[in-house]
Structure 1
Amino acid sequence: MQLETVAIRAAADRLAERLTAHRRAIHRRPELGYQEHATAAYVESMLDDLAVAHRRVIGTGVVALLPGAGSRSVGVRADMDALPVPEAPGRDGYRSEFEGLSHACGHDGHVAVLLGLAELLASVDDLPLTVALYFQPAEEGPGGGQPMVAAGVLDDPRPEAVLALHVASAHPSGTVAIRTGPSSGSNDTIAITVHGVGGHAAHPDTALDPVPIAAQIVTGVQQLVTREIDPVQPVVVTFGSIHGGHRDNVIASSVTLTGTIRAVHQHNRELLNRRVPELAHGIAAAHRATVTVDLECGYPVGVNDPELTQVVAAAAAAVLGDERVMRVPEPSLGSEDFYAFGETGLPVSMFQLGVADPARGITAPHHSPDFNLDEAALPAGVAVFAETIRRLEQAG
């Protein structure tokens, strides 16, 4: 096979049944981060059938290599892990075999697409450049992108760009949605413990109540967000849990807030990570209390390289048609550890592959027990990747 646009789409379409089979095999056996043993073994078995060389990294990660002519190379990444989300009834013949676990974010589809890409590229006569495939564990947590980078997967070969996709239940099946520039939010976690003095609820003057102090911190942070951040640049600080005390008539000695800080611009991320702890200390000090703050930086701001993303958009239009390609107008504050590959300085780009089919009831949001995907969309993902690789080689 020659790596040409018409041939690419036809070859991807011929893989439809194989892609569905891959997706369903993986869907039956969902595994959490760094527990993807059966998934990694399945990937390796399929790569062996294609005579594609591969190696293990960071326990359950797999790197496959399809050698090409010359010294240039491109990387493509797919995440493999599932979620601790029970699966809703349905999916007869391929529903999750593990109670309480499911592929509620579509990573089974991601792996299927990457295996399909491996099969398509393995059939190409004289592949024009080397393609590295990164089957990554633990995107849902605790994170596998940065550990794969630290393990040296980008060192040999050194790709000139890294691509990825994410299935999207918000878009019609077989469409592609693309955004240039800031695309997804950073994801940092914060725990703030307010230390007071416990006592009797009837005599607050003899205690130092941390509850109203914690409440002021929560509202103060929201004021910080609206007063110190450019209002057209999305950020969010959400406190998802508040824990303190155990009885109605006892003043607690401490209260702990835990939350997430997210931004789609690095300068806002840095500002919030500095100002939220400052504000917490300041409010506590004003009431003669103290706080301890534990801030853990997580996934990075996700930025799609403009030039690379334009190549992806043109490739999608070529194999799917202009009418099947849409632009995403705003970034999401959801986070994605794929962008750890971009923190190395490499151009990266992730596109969304629509998988919704309202006629069949496939519309549920990600991380829902009802989440599902239209498998007919999977060949489009393979075709967009292959056409992008072809165009990157031609761009020289």
Structure 2
Amino acid sequence: MLHNDPIAPLTDEVISWRHHIHANPELGFQEKETARFVAKKLRSFGVDEVHENIGGTGVVGVLRNGNSTHAIGLRAELDALPVVEKADVPYISKSEGVMHACGHDGHSAMLLGAAKLLSETRSFDGTIYFIFQPAEENEGGSMRMIEDGLFRRFPVEAVYAVHNWPGLKFGTIATRVGPQMAAVDNFELTFEGLGSHAAMPQIGDDPILAASAFVQTVQRIVSRSVDPLSPLVVSITQVHGGNVGNIVPKKVWVQGTCRFFEPGLSDHCEKLVGQIAQGIASAHSLGANLQYKKGYPPVVNTPEATARAIEAASSVLGSENVVTDFAASLGCEDFAYMVRAVGGCYVWIGAGEVGPSEGLHGDKFVFNDGIVPAVLRYWQTLVEQVLPLHSREAAQ
């Protein structure tokens, strides 16, 4: 610990950066101004290199110190969500229909804070890559960065990420070896036929009836085709059809998602969603067109990196505030691609209890700025422990 603790004065600066990013949100692969802001800040800190436009709008800052060849990556996300903000904050979104409703503004600001702190202290021996990735929410920005040579150009021994977690006790960090976030597949299904006048259904067919049957029947995948002890969620998230009160439409469009940990459930869900859709379509004399999209794999924390993360978190918060025995989330995260590529660890930082609309992706979500000091200290401690600076005095 430094005698003159730099965390307190830096905290206010980090919060101001977050509020700026929050007020100017951008969707995935459109984060040009956010990326420009990040790159400008990194250069002002005096990092050794700043690389832009990686995997689209991604940014990587490079900070070296000492002679060690060891290197790690620290990652945050740049993108916002297509949500109309209803939070009562003075820095509310200026972009209509776009909102930082997941805390990526905070993650990026805190990683910038870590970059500034470590640029000033140089309290490590090795190389840190500060990775700011685009399009985490739906478009797989981390995979785009990897495909663009992220880990070939910036080779690391492990990569680490922090995510604020509403509902987890404030002042705690949760992580575990193995799965922490689920895999995700998404699907779009169209039932299509002739339609009819609402008063004369016998002369046509009814894709709304078919879609209704599908919404109910598809749940048999969870309740009757998979071991009840194996986590699986199948959720229908959108149903669209018709625009006139007295006409049964010709077409109904359905969107859904499947969440799971076991890789084999991807093919299983794809097969059964297709079978159920075709069976219902046939029973209703309709056509069915299914597009099933394989999504993110699960986030699977690797043992060595997780041990490092737990050690750092325990140093910062005390071992009694580090949670390792908890249920993994069926939410998903494209950090999974990075961990799969090079190993790493994903941690949740407790943001305290909130209401449903104030949680992640809620339109009244408000990032808890109270977590900033702990995360800055966590990043600093993690780097110092993974890339220890051996004093010259000790070597003499």
Normalising TM by the smaller chain, what interval? 0.7 to 0.9
For the residue of structure 1 that corresponds to 2:86, the secondary structure is coil
Distance in 1 separating the partners of 2:358 and 2:244: 40
Choose the corresponding residue for 1:349, options 338, 345, 348.
345
Distance in 2 separating the partners of 1:306 and 1:8: 33
Letter in 2 for 1:73: A
Partner residue of 2:139?
Answer: 142
Question: How far apart are residue 103 of structure 1 and its match?
Answer: 2.0
Say whether 1:20 aligns with 2:15: yes
Distance in 1 separating the partners of 2:174 and 2:100: 21
Partner residue of 2:216?
Answer: 219
Choose the corresponding residue for 1:261, options 237, 258, 261.
258
Partner residue of 2:24?
Answer: 29
Letter in 2 for 1:182: P
For the residue of structure 2 that corresponds to 1:67, the secondary structure is strand
Distance in 1 separating the partners of 2:42 and 2:248: 61
Distance in 1 separating the partners of 2:87 and 2:359: 16
Question: How far apart are residue 104 of structure 1 and its match?
Answer: 2.0
Question: How far apart are residue 155 of structure 1 and its match?
Answer: 0.9
Partner residue of 2:394?
Answer: none
Matched ranges for 1:1-396 at <5 A: 6-7=1-2, 10-52=5-47, 53-56=49-52, 57-68=54-65, 69-88=67-86, 90-92=88-90, 94-125=91-122, 127-201=124-198, 204-247=201-244, 250-327=247-324, 329-344=326-341, 346-356=342-352, 364-393=358-387
Partner residue of 1:3?
Answer: none
Change in Cα spacing, 1:83 to 1:210, as seen in structure 2 (3 Å) is closer
Letter in 2 for 1:128: D
Distance in 1 separating the partners of 2:188 and 2:3: 50
Change in Cα spacing, 1:125 to 1:217, as seen in structure 2 (3 Å) is closer
Q: Greater shift after overlay, 151-160 or 122-131? A: 122-131
Say if 1:193 and 1:256, in contact at 8 Å, map to a contact too.
Answer: yes
Distance in 2 separating the partners of 1:267 and 1:240: 23
For the residue of structure 2 that corresponds to 1:154, the secondary structure is helix
Question: How far apart are residue 317 of structure 1 and its match?
Answer: 0.6
Question: How far apart are residue 133 of structure 1 and its match?
Answer: 0.9
Change in Cα spacing, 1:327 to 1:8, as seen in structure 2 (3 Å) is farther
Say if 1:183 and 1:264, in contact at 8 Å, map to a contact too.
Answer: no
Distance in 2 separating the partners of 1:8 and 1:330: 39
Say if 1:356 and 1:362, in contact at 8 Å, map to a contact too.
Answer: no
Distance in 2 separating the partners of 1:184 and 1:171: 15
The TM-score with structure 2 as length reference comes to: 0.87
Distance in 2 separating the partners of 1:47 and 1:210: 54
User: Which stretches in structure 1 are left out of the alignment for 5+ residues?
Assistant: 1-5
Q: Greater shift after overlay, 205-214 or 40-49? A: 205-214
Letter in 2 for 1:375: D
The TM-score with structure 1 as length reference comes to: 0.87
Change in Cα spacing, 1:267 to 1:174, as seen in structure 2 (3 Å) is same
Question: How far apart are residue 246 of structure 1 and its match?
Answer: 4.5
Change in Cα spacing, 1:148 to 1:284, as seen in structure 2 (3 Å) is same
For the residue of structure 2 that corresponds to 1:299, the secondary structure is coil
Question: How far apart are residue 248 of structure 1 and its match?
Answer: 5.6
Distance in 2 separating the partners of 1:369 and 1:219: 28
CA deviations over 1:357-385 (Å, ceiling 9, x no partner): 88xx9992122232223323112112222
Letter in 2 for 1:76: L
Partner residue of 2:392?
Answer: none
Question: How far apart are residue 106 of structure 1 and its match?
Answer: 1.2
Question: How far apart are residue 222 of structure 1 and its match?
Answer: 0.5
CA deviations over 1:324-369 (Å, ceiling 9, x no partner): 222361122222111121232x2121111123388xx999212223
CA deviations over 1:80-102 (Å, ceiling 9, x no partner): 1222333336433x343334433
Distance in 2 separating the partners of 1:101 and 1:239: 23
Change in Cα spacing, 1:275 to 1:48, as seen in structure 2 (3 Å) is same
For the residue of structure 2 that corresponds to 1:191, the secondary structure is strand
Distance in 1 separating the partners of 2:38 and 2:163: 18
- Aligned-residue CA RMSD (Å): 2.7
Distance in 2 separating the partners of 1:282 and 1:170: 41
Say if 1:308 and 1:348, in contact at 8 Å, map to a contact too.
Answer: yes
Change in Cα spacing, 1:121 to 1:243, as seen in structure 2 (3 Å) is same
Say if 1:9 and 1:319, in contact at 8 Å, map to a contact too.
Answer: no
Say if 1:342 and 1:348, in contact at 8 Å, map to a contact too.
Answer: yes
Letter in 2 for 1:371: F
Say if 1:33 and 1:82, in contact at 8 Å, map to a contact too.
Answer: yes
Say if 1:177 and 1:327, in contact at 8 Å, map to a contact too.
Answer: yes
